[in-house]
Amino acid sequence: MISTSRRGLLAASATGLLSGKAALAQPGLPAGWPDRSIRIIVPYAAGGITDVISRGVAVGLQAALGQAVVVENRPGANGTVGTLVAARAAADGTTITMGITDTFAINRSTFRTLPYSDENDFAPISMVTRVPFALMVGAHRREITDFAGFLREARREAGRLTFASWGVGSSSHLAYEFVARAERFEKLHVPFAAQAPGMQAVASGQVDSMMLPVGGANSLAVDNRARILALAHPSRIELTPNVPTLTELGVPLATGLWLALYAPRATPAPIIARLNAALREGMRHEQTMNVFRQQAGSPEPSTPEELTAFAVRERAQWAQLVQEKDIRVE
């Protein structure tokens, strides 16, 4: 699991709630809003990056709003279960969701029937952060010490090299497919229901490799349970300064996981504006900033309009790869 203490985040949340300062009210905002707790629905299990980032964001939001902000995990079906719950929630701003690349860009291409519409059922609040992907191998693959060795073994094994993901059609799955397509090697996909069990499978030697957010990969690397071979990022990063980028190695892939907050579509604009302002303020909270740093992300607040335009571009990019690989989730 990602090395961030959930208990520590919850304790910081309580502290932030007691000492928080509410921002100025937005024009047209209902008097006294929010007058009760707010929940962030995370459509994935505890322990993965979506959960960890959401709990970090909750700390800052509590401090900014002066109300409890709780994280509710609703995992299942590549994030569709929890995202559907969020879409059907009351549009009063007290239920929001942490949308990610998978739920708001990829699922529409991989699912033959998606139970929600990422465009029509939600109102964008703000981008939260983007984190780069890393390619890692388990420590049990001692003969693989760098990317060149990885390619050599992948080609030699001709379809027997295994890789984990957090589901068929997930961003973790598709990013690995991009590398395999670019370098022309066969592999064996072993999908899991969430990021954490996939990581543990690699760490325990059950699965050979995985493409995942660099913070999670680094938590295994520092314990010598895995090795990070390459980073899917335009440049090297402070968290893993000695890890080369895929671009350096001749693979033109710079991608990762983006996370953004959404509310049910009919949520009034003044509430959206208040949540946007609270997020911007909350992102400066020390505990929230620390979570971002641990995951190699940085606060990236946006306007709702900027988030909408970004998501449109992302959907088109991922749809092309899904079509090429003919990846479908029944």
Q: Which long-range contacts (CB under 8 A, 24 or more apart) does 247-256 make?
A: 249/147, 251/179, 251/182, 251/183, 252/182, 253/175, 253/178, 253/179, 253/182, 254/132, 255/132, 255/133, 255/171, 255/175, 255/178, 256/130, 256/131, 256/132, 256/133, 256/213, 256/214, 256/232
Length of the chain: 330
Q: Are residues 22 and 44 both part of a single domain?
A: yes
Q: Concatenated DSSP letters for 156-169?
A: HHTS--EEEESSTT
Burial 288-319 (b: 16+ CB within 10 A, else e): bbbbbebbbbebbbbebeebeebbeebbeebe
Number of domains into which the chain is organized: 2
Secondary element (H or E) of residue 80: helix 80-87
The SS3 assignment for 50 reads helix
78 plus 136 within the same structural domain: no
Instruction: Please tell me whether residues 124 and 149 are part of one structural domain.
Output: no
Same domain, 76 and 89: yes
Neighbours of 198 (CB within 10 A): 27
Residues 6+ apart with CB under 8 A from 185: 151, 154, 155, 161
Mark whether 149 and 292 lie in a shared domain: no
Residue 123 belongs to domain spanning: 6-130+256-325
What CATH code is carried by the domain that includes residue 73?
Answer: 3.40.190.150
What angle (nearest 5°) sits at the alpha carbon of residue 81, between those of residues 78 and 83?
90
Distance, in Å, from the CA atom of 141 to the CA atom of 64, rounded to the nearest integer, reads 47
- Asked if the structure places residue 248 within a domain, the reply is no
Yes or no: say if 43 and 82 are a contact pair by the CB < 8 Å rule.
yes
Global pTM? 0.89
126 and 10 share one domain: yes
pLDDT tens digits, the chain, 330 residues: what are they?
A: 343 444 444 444 444 444 334 444 567 899 999 999 999 999 999 999 999 999 999 999 999 999 999 999 999 999 999 999 999 999 999 999 999 999 999 999 999 999 999 999 999 999 999 999 999 999 999 999 999 999 999 999 999 999 999 999 999 999 999 999 999 999 999 999 999 999 999 999 999 999 999 999 999 999 999 999 999 999 999 999 999 999 999 999 999 999 999 999 999 999 999 999 999 999 999 999 999 999 999 899 999 999 999 999 999 989 988 888 788 887
